[in-house]
Every structure is written in structure tokens, then in C-alpha cells.
Amino acid sequence: MENLSARMVEDAYRYLRGAKQLLRGDDLMDVAQINAALGMEILLKSFVAVPNSNLGTLWETYELDKPMIKAAYEQLKAAGNAGDRIDWHDLLMLFHAIPESIRRSVGLHRHVDEIESNRYVFTNARYRYEKNARQWYCTGLVGVLQDVIPRIVEYHKQQGSKDPFIQSFQMSAGPIVV
């Protein structure tokens, strides 16, 4: 069984739930998008994380497999699709750090365009008052998370995860309310 970062999947789900709640509020689409971007970042990083403490417990912690992420960065840079330095929040780089077979098995590959168009949301939109801050918002990453989290939970089950969150997971019903 490979390393499974169930706690990170749970955290991503919690940020998705927060984003969906924010979409029900007054003019909070920007904050919802930031929550969804953070959830997406955590979810992508869950595939390149290695347990480093409290192994096998509910409080297991992880560290990133930095060589996997650096290899993805170098791949994007060679293709002219990366900056001069690694942005550890770059969703597209994190996406490419995940082996293609896993991306396909959990359905991430179907969302590469949405991930790419929102790749810098967390770093470029969280501080609206900054000069170069992103000034438009969308719910695209909320939809991506709603689609892939159940698939990733199922993937964890297939890999033998005994984590209580994974075993008892039920996606909360209801469409995105905007």
C-alpha cells in the first residue's frame, strides 16, 4: 500500500465545505474561491506527501516529497510554463507532480484546464487590496473539488485505507448555490 494522506483529504473536504457555505453568503465569492484554492492545494499535495510523525494515528502529519514537486517544476519550466522559481502554491505544478496514472484514476486529468486557469489563485487573489491581485472570481475549483474528492476517497478505500474519515465519508448533498 502506498502512502495515503487521508488527513489531508479530510482537510481539503473541510475547505470545500467552507467554500460552499461562503457561496451562500453575501458577496463572498472571492473568499469562497480562496478557500477552494486552498482545498485544492492541500488535495494535490496529499499525493506528494509522506507521513513524518504520529504514523497510523488520526494526528498523522506529513511532509512534501520535494523532489517530486521540483521535477514537475522543471518539466513546466522546460515547456515555458513556469516562473523563475518554484511557487509552492502553484496548482498546475502540484498537479504535474502527481503520477499520471493516479491523476487519471481519480479523475484529476479531466480538470487540468480549470486547475491551470486557477493555478495562482491562492497567491494572487487572497489579498484583494494588492496592486496585482486577481480581481475576478469564479466557482470553478469548488466544482472540481466536488467532483474529485469522492473519487479520491474511493481511491483511498481501494488502496486499503482504514482512516475513519475515509471509511465514513459521505459527500454532503446539494448543488453550489451562487
Tell whether the model's pLDDT for residue 136 goes beyond 80: no
The C-alpha cell 484514476 sits at 105
Mean pLDDT, the chain, whole residue set: 89
Tell whether the model's pLDDT for residue 134 goes beyond 80: no
Identify the band that residue 178 occupies on the pLDDT scale cut at 50, 70 and 90.
very low
16-32 confidence digits (pLDDT tens): 999 999 998 777 888 89
What is the torsion angle, in degrees rounded to the nearest 10, for the CA atoms of residue 41, residue 43, residue 48 and residue 51? 120
Domain boundaries, the chain: 6-168
Among 47-51, 121-125, 171-175, the least confident range: 171-175
Identify the band that residue 59 occupies on the pLDDT scale cut at 50, 70 and 90.
confident
Query: Quick one: CA dihedral 94, 100, 104, 105, positive or negative?
Result: negative
Taking every pair of C-alpha atoms in the chain, what is the biggest distance, in angstroms?
47
Tell whether the model's pLDDT for residue 177 goes beyond 60: no
Average pLDDT over residues 1-26: 88
pLDDT for 128 equals: 65
The C-alpha cell 521535477 sits at 71
pLDDT for 130 equals: 67
What whole-number distance in Å separates Cα of residue 147 and Cα of residue 110? 10
pTM attached to this predicted model: 0.90
Among 125-129, 152-156, 161-165, the least confident range: 125-129
pLDDT for 87 equals: 94
83-133 confidence digits (pLDDT tens): 999 999 999 999 999 999 999 999 999 999 999 999 998 887 666 666 676
